[in-house]
Amino acid sequence: MTRAHASRASDGIHLRGGPDAVLLIHGLTGTPREMRFVARRLHAAGFTVSVPRLPGHCGSEADLIRTGWRDWYGGAEEALVRLHASSRRVFVGGLSMGALLALRLARKRRDLVSGVALYSTTMFYDGWSIPRLAFLLPLLLRSPFRRAYRFVESYPFGIKDERLRGIIVARMQQGDSAAAGFAATPGPSLAELHHLIARVKRDLPSITTPTLILHARDDDVTSPRNADYVARRLAGPVRQVLLDDCYHMITIDQQREEVARQTAAFFMSLSLPLPSVGPAAAGDLAAAGAMP
pLDDT digits (tens, 9 = 90+) for 12-45: 999 999 999 999 999 999 999 999 999 999 999 9
pLDDT digits (tens, 9 = 90+) for 223-243: 999 999 999 999 999 999 999
Q: How far apart are CA 262 and CA 215, in angstroms?
A: 12
Strand partners, 216: 243
CATH number of 9-290: 3.40.50.1820
Q: How far apart are CA 16 and CA 264, in angstroms?
A: 16
Q: How far apart are CA 190 and CA 221, in angstroms?
A: 14
Q: How far apart are CA 205 and CA 202, in angstroms?
A: 7
Q: How far apart are CA 262 and CA 149, in angstroms?
A: 38
- Taking only Cα atoms into account, the Rg of the chain, rounded to an integer number of angstroms, comes to 20
Contact 50, 265 (CB under 8 A): no
Contacts of 187 (CB under 8 A, 6+ apart): 140, 141, 145, 146, 147, 148, 149, 150, 151
Nearest to 158 by CA among 220, 217, 216, 227: 220
Predicted pLDDT of residue 60: 84
pLDDT digits (tens, 9 = 90+) for 238-266: 999 999 999 999 999 999 999 999 999 99
Q: How far apart are CA 25 and CA 118, in angstroms?
A: 10
Predicted pLDDT of residue 292: 40
Cβ neighbours around 269 below 10 Å, total = 11
Q: Rounded to two decimals, what is the model's pTM? A: 0.86
pLDDT at 154 over 90: no
pLDDT at 148 over 70: no
pLDDT digits (tens, 9 = 90+) for 191-234: 999 999 999 999 999 999 999 999 999 999 999 999 999 999 99
pLDDT at 286 over 70: no
Predicted pLDDT of residue 285: 40
**Residue 124 half-sphere exposure, CB side, CA atoms within 13 Å?**
14
pLDDT digits (tens, 9 = 90+) for 48-64: 999 999 999 988 888 99
pLDDT digits (tens, 9 = 90+) for 60-100: 888 999 999 999 999 999 999 999 999 999 999 999 999 99
Query: What count of residues does the chain have?
Result: 292
Instruction: For the chain, give every domain's residue range.
Output: 9-290
